[in-house]
Structure 1
Amino acid sequence: MKLRKVSAAAAAALVLSLTATACGGDDDKDSGSGSGDGGTIKVGIKYDQPGLGLKEPGDKFSGFDVDVATYVAKELGYEPDQIEFVETKSADRENALARGDVKFITATYSITDERKEKVDFAGPYLLAHQDLLIKADSDISKGTDLNGKKLCSVVGSTSAQNVQKEIAPKAQLQEYSSYSECIANLQSGAVDAVTTDDSILAGFAAQDQYKGQFKLAGLKLSNENYGVGVKKGDTATVDKINAALEKMVKDGAWDQAVKDNFGPAGYQNEKAPKIGVIVS
């Protein structure tokens, strides 16, 4: 990971910017400065991914991404009741950061060269892999076993298409508008497997109504390095978040968050990745 040096002029400009913000009344609330004086910090997450980012009844939030965000915000100086979680769908993540809608994003946000042109990333904080979710008693053990079987993913996803193209050309692709529909159809037997990131699949399988019914095939079809998205150029926040992530791993909170959110599907998680190390 290459660290950019800040010039004296840039540092002076930053000081002036912070001073102006401090004098701006309500504009200080979402600065993420860690003042702990009653301000809030806005954090982008997914609302519809159990085990990662889920909005529950009563405006409660749960999931690994939520746990990471809460820990990071704490290190920035914010208590849980000072965090405002904002839904950031995949297509709007870069825009949400550019507009300043959120201070940072933890939302299964894979670090890619294309995205790094638009935003900065802290982390990675989780290494996930594309995989298959199958029934607990399924005999599917490799990708080619999907030939002639029904494979489910969401509309517009490349995951199922990649499986069909690379390892199981005779797989019958079934597409739905959400992974919730895919999982329900897997439970009913209407499809034989669901494919996307293993962390997402494990999160769905960990829901109470599905515990013990599914398992991951463990194929590791791709590497997905989840990072914390930050507005382009905000290297100070990137550095603070990286320090928070390192602390989270060191004090055991990272391991506990994995166990709390992914356990029931037999999720064999990778060790916590090293900051700045991207697995290709």
Structure 2
Amino acid sequence: MKLRKVSAAAATALVLALTATACGGDDGGDSNGSGSGGGNKIKIGIKYDQPGLGLKEPDGSFSGFDVDVATYVAKELGYKPDQIEWVETKSADRENALSRGDVKMIAATYSITDERKQKVDFAGPYLLAHQDLLVKKDSDITKATDLNEKKLCSVAGSTSAQNVKDDFAPKAQLTQRGGYSECLSALQSGAVDALTTDDSILAGYAAQDQYKGQFKLAGLKLSNENYGIGVKKGDTATLNKINTALEKMVSDGSWEKAVKENFGPANYKNEPAPKIGQIVQ
């Protein structure tokens, strides 16, 4: 009799477990958003330290163009803003974060390159950026060759400043800082004459309240940076849904609105919204 009671209890537990599985469990979807949308949470990788693109605010909220784009896309996939879990994804770890399943997608100034496409699938592009220069509002620097004998700042580990020196201004004096904010402070004080990286990143920093009206973009196009949304290699279903969402974001005006809100104070002359799948070399 005792043996039969244990077996009955086990059978009951098995039935309950199977019932819970069939119903999808309490959370309604995987934590990284691998369901068809509308699950409990979707994890999205962004930058935490790029004003105007991906920034974690002091109150714990998030702002920026990448955040706005990802929020719109998540909505089209069936997730409300409070169902999004933002995950800091540093440049060096983006491919690994996707392959490990730490996040469902990444929107973090993620330039589409042939090398990266070997490891990641990209939706988009959703923004065409260019390497540019940020200078003081009254600066007479209007082209890259004007940087000869001038001090050019970029962050440690970046190749942007060296590219300018190699290709345009061999006599430029390169200086590195730990972050873009430090370069901006140096530019503000006159310790350097210009700062270089992607124009979208420069515009985001210059649009901060403490810098409004002090700087301008030179308007150069020293490179083409096609920003895409990265997804795990082979996740075609999610890729197609994201592309559809991006097309809708452009057509209903939300894309242009997000550009103006995040970059407008720096007088950012953005390119028109790129066509899905069209990479500008």
Using the size of structure 1 for normalisation, the TM-score is 0.90
The one-character-per-residue Cα deviations of 1:127-163 (angstroms, maximum 9, x if unpaired) are 0000000000000011111001100001111100000
- Asked whether the equivalents of residues 99 and 233 of structure 2 are also in contact (C-alpha less than 8 Å), the reply is yes
Counterpart for residue 98 of structure 1: 99
- Asked whether the equivalents of residues 31 and 43 of structure 2 are also in contact (C-alpha less than 8 Å), the reply is no
Counterpart for residue 10 of structure 1: none
For residues 21 and 228 of structure 1, the distance between their equivalents in structure 2, rounded to whole angstroms, comes to 32
The percentage of counterpart residues that share the same residue type is 77
* Residue 31 (1) aligns with residue 7 (2): no
Counterpart for residue 212 of structure 1: 213
Letter in 2 for 1:218: G
Counterpart for residue 146 of structure 1: 147
RMSD over equivalenced CA pairs, Å: 1.5
For residues 182 and 135 of structure 2, the distance between their equivalents in structure 1, rounded to whole angstroms, comes to 14
Counterpart for residue 56 of structure 1: 57
For residues 175 and 123 of structure 2, the distance between their equivalents in structure 1, rounded to whole angstroms, comes to 35
For residues 35 and 135 of structure 1, the distance between their equivalents in structure 2, rounded to whole angstroms, comes to 46
For residues 56 and 91 of structure 1, the distance between their equivalents in structure 2, rounded to whole angstroms, comes to 23
- Asked whether the equivalents of residues 128 and 224 of structure 2 are also in contact (C-alpha less than 8 Å), the reply is yes
For residues 23 and 188 of structure 2, the distance between their equivalents in structure 1, rounded to whole angstroms, comes to 54
Counterpart for residue 236 of structure 2: 235
Q: Count the aligned residue pairs.
A: 260
Letter in 2 for 1:192: D
Q: Residues 34-49 of structure 1: matches in 2 within 5 Å? A: 34-36=36-38, 39-49=40-50
Letter in 2 for 1:148: E
- Asked whether the equivalents of residues 152 and 192 of structure 2 are also in contact (C-alpha less than 8 Å), the reply is yes
CA shift in 2, pair 1:244/1:21, >3 Å: farther
Letter in 1 for 2:55: L
Letter in 1 for 2:187: L
Letter in 1 for 2:106: I
Letter in 2 for 1:205: A
* Residue 192 (1) aligns with residue 193 (2): yes
Letter in 1 for 2:30: D
Counterpart for residue 167 of structure 2: 166
Q: What is the deviation of 1:57? A: 1.2
Q: Once superposed, which parts of structure 1, at least 4 consecutive aligned residues long, lie more than 4 Å away?
A: 20-27
For residues 42 and 278 of structure 1, the distance between their equivalents in structure 2, rounded to whole angstroms, comes to 26
Counterpart for residue 252 of structure 1: 253
Q: What is the deviation of 1:32? A: 4.1
For residues 62 and 235 of structure 2, the distance between their equivalents in structure 1, rounded to whole angstroms, comes to 27
Aligned partner of residue 28 in structure 1, secondary structure: coil
Using the size of structure 2 for normalisation, the TM-score is 0.90
Q: What is the deviation of 1:36? A: 2.7
